[in-house]
Copies of this chain bind each other. A is one copy, B any other.
Amino acid sequence: MPELRHGPISDSWVIIAAERAKRPSDFITDEKNNGLKIEPAQCSFCPGNEGKTPPEIFAVRERGGPNSPNWKVRVVPNKYPALQTYAELGRAGIGFFDKMHGVGAHEVIIETPAHHADLADLPLEQIKLNIDVFVRRIRELMKNDWFRYILLFKNHGATAGASLSHPHSQLIATPVLPSEVRHRIKAAQNYYEKKERCIFCDLIIQECTLGGERIVEERDGYVVWSPYDARFPFALTIFPKYHLHDFTLMNEGQKRELARVLKRTLLRLKLLLNDPPFNMVLQTSPNPIPRPGKPGYWATLQYDYHWHIEILPRLTRVAGFEWGTGFYINPMPPEEAAKHLRAVALPEGI
Instruction: Show the binding face of A for B, using Cβ within 8 Å.
Output: 3, 5-21, 24, 27-28, 30-31, 82, 94-97, 149, 151, 153-155, 158-162, 170, 172, 174, 178-181, 183-184, 187-188, 191, 199, 202-203, 206, 210, 227-231, 233-234, 272-274, 276, 279-283, 310, 312-313, 315-321, 323-334, 336, 340
Contact = CB atoms under 8 A, between A and B. Distances in A.
B27 A273 contact: yes
A316 B179 CA distance: 21
Contacts of A159: 31, 317
19 contacts: A3-B333, A7-B228, A11-B183, A14-B330, A15-B328, A18-B332, A19-B331, A24-B272, A24-B273, A27-B273, A95-B206, A96-B228, A97-B229, A155-B319, A159-B317, A161-B317, A180-B326, A279-B323, A280-B320
Number of copies: 2
Given A326-B12, A327-B15, A82 B321 contact: yes
A7 B227 contact: yes
A313 B31 CA distance: 13
Contacts of A18: 331-333, 336
Nearest to A326: B180
Nearest to A33: B317
Given A9-B187, A28-B274, A14 B153 contact: no
A97 B211 CA distance: 11
Nearest to A5: B229
Given A96-B202, A153-B324, A276-B28, A228 B5 contact: yes
Nearest to A229: B7
B329 A17 contact: yes
A160 B174 CA distance: 29
A325 B9 contact: no
Contacts of A97: 228-229
Nearest to A83: B329
Most buried by B among A17, A234, A282: A17
A27 B233 contact: yes
A233 B172 CA distance: 21
Contacts of A199: 8-9
A193 B228 CA distance: 37
